[in-house]
Chains A and B, each alone.
Chain A
Amino acid sequence: MIQKKICMVGAYGVGKTSLVKRFVESIFDERYHTTVGVKIDKKRLQMEDGELTLVLWDLAGDDELEPLRLSYLRGASGYILVADGCRESTLDIAGDLHSRIAGVHGALPFVLAVNKMDLEAEWRISEDRLARVTALGWPLIRTSAKTGAGVDQTFSTLASLLLQDLK
Chain B
Amino acid sequence: MTCDPGVIGIFSTLDIAVLKPTAHGVFTVAAPPPHWFLPLVADPIGDDSLVSAFPFLDSFLPNARDFWARVEAGSLRSGTWVQRDSPDSESAFEATALRALSENYLLIAMLGEEFQQRRSALQSARSRGLEKEALERRNREMERITGMTSDFLATMSHELRTPLNAILGFSALLTQGKGGALPERQQHFAGQVHQAASHLLALINDLLDLSGMEAGRMRLHPEAFTLGDELQETFSTLAPLALQRKVALRSDAGCLPLPIYADRIRFRQILHNLLSNSLKFTPEGGTVSVSAHLEGPWIEIVISDTGIGIPEAEQSLIFEKFYQVPRSKGDPLEGTGLGLPIAKGLVEQHGGKMSLRSRLGAGSSFTFTLPSGIFNRGEL
A interface residues with partner B (beta carbon < 8 Å): 5, 12-13, 32-42, 55, 57, 61, 63, 65-66, 69, 71-75, 86-87, 122, 124
Extra inter-chain contacts (8) besides given A32-B123, A38-B79, A39-B83, CB under 8 Å:
A5-B58, A32-B126, A33-B123, A36-B118, A37-B80, A41-B83, A41-B84, A75-B58
Chain A residues contacting B82 (CB-CB under 8 Å) are 35-40
Contact yes or no, B59 A74, CB < 8 A: yes
Chain B residues contacting A87 (CB-CB under 8 Å) are 133, 137
Assess whether B56 is interfacial by the CB under 8 Å rule. Answer: yes
Contact yes or no, B59 A75, CB < 8 A: yes
Assess whether B271 is interfacial by the CB under 8 Å rule. Answer: no
Interface size range of chain B in the complex: 20 to 34
Chain B residues contacting A69 (CB-CB under 8 Å) are 79
CA of A103 to CA of B30, assembled, Å: 39
Cβ-closest chain B residue relative to A33 = B123
Contact yes or no, B58 A32, CB < 8 A: no
CA of A87 to CA of B133, assembled, Å: 8
The 8 tightest CB contacts between A and B, nearest first, are: A37-B80, A74-B59, A38-B81, A39-B82, A34-B123, A13-B130, A40-B83, A36-B119
Contact yes or no, B81 A12, CB < 8 A: no
Cβ-closest chain B residue relative to A90 = B133
Assess whether B127 is interfacial by the CB under 8 Å rule. Answer: yes
Chain A residues contacting B125 (CB-CB under 8 Å) are 65
Chain B residues contacting A63 (CB-CB under 8 Å) are 126, 129
CA of A148 to CA of B83, assembled, Å: 23
Overall SS of chain B's interface? helix
Assess whether B215 is interfacial by the CB under 8 Å rule. Answer: no
CA of A36 to CA of B114, assembled, Å: 12
Cβ-closest chain B residue relative to A55 = B55
Assess whether B62 is interfacial by the CB under 8 Å rule. Answer: yes
Question: With A13-B126, A87-B133 given, is the CB distance from A74 to B79 under 8 Å?
Answer: no
Question: With A34-B123, A66-B122 given, is the CB distance from A72 to B129 under 8 Å?
Answer: no
Chain B residues contacting A40 (CB-CB under 8 Å) are 55-56, 81-84
CA of A69 to CA of B78, assembled, Å: 10
Chain A residues contacting B94 (CB-CB under 8 Å) are 37
Contact yes or no, A86 B126, CB < 8 A: no
Contact yes or no, B56 A34, CB < 8 A: no
Chain B residues contacting A13 (CB-CB under 8 Å) are 126, 129-130
CA of A33 to CA of B123, assembled, Å: 7
Contact yes or no, B137 A86, CB < 8 A: yes
Contact of A38 among B56, B62, B126 (CB under 8 A): B56
Cβ-closest chain B residue relative to A17 = B82
Chain A residues contacting B56 (CB-CB under 8 Å) are 38, 40, 57
CA of A42 to CA of B53, assembled, Å: 13
Contact yes or no, A12 B126, CB < 8 A: yes
CA of A87 to CA of B129, assembled, Å: 12
Q: Could you list 13 examples of A-B contacts with CB < 8 Å? A: A12-B126, A13-B126, A35-B82, A37-B79, A37-B80, A37-B82, A40-B82, A55-B55, A65-B126, A71-B63, A72-B59, A72-B79, A74-B59
Chain A residues contacting B90 (CB-CB under 8 Å) are 39
Shortest beta-carbon distance from A15 to chain B in Å: 11
Cβ-closest chain B residue relative to A58 = B82
Contact yes or no, B137 A124, CB < 8 A: yes
Shortest beta-carbon distance from B274 to chain A in Å: 41
Cβ-closest chain A residue relative to B90 = A39
Assess whether B189 is interfacial by the CB under 8 Å rule. Answer: no
Contact yes or no, A36 B80, CB < 8 A: yes
Shortest beta-carbon distance from B145 to chain A in Å: 13
Cβ-closest chain B residue relative to A69 = B79
Contact yes or no, A39 B127, CB < 8 A: no
Assess whether B152 is interfacial by the CB under 8 Å rule. Answer: no
Contact of A34 among B58, B79, B126 (CB under 8 A): B126
Cβ-closest chain A residue relative to B116 = A36
Contact yes or no, B126 A61, CB < 8 A: yes
Assess whether B200 is interfacial by the CB under 8 Å rule. Answer: no
Contact yes or no, B79 A65, CB < 8 A: no
CA of A35 to CA of B90, assembled, Å: 12
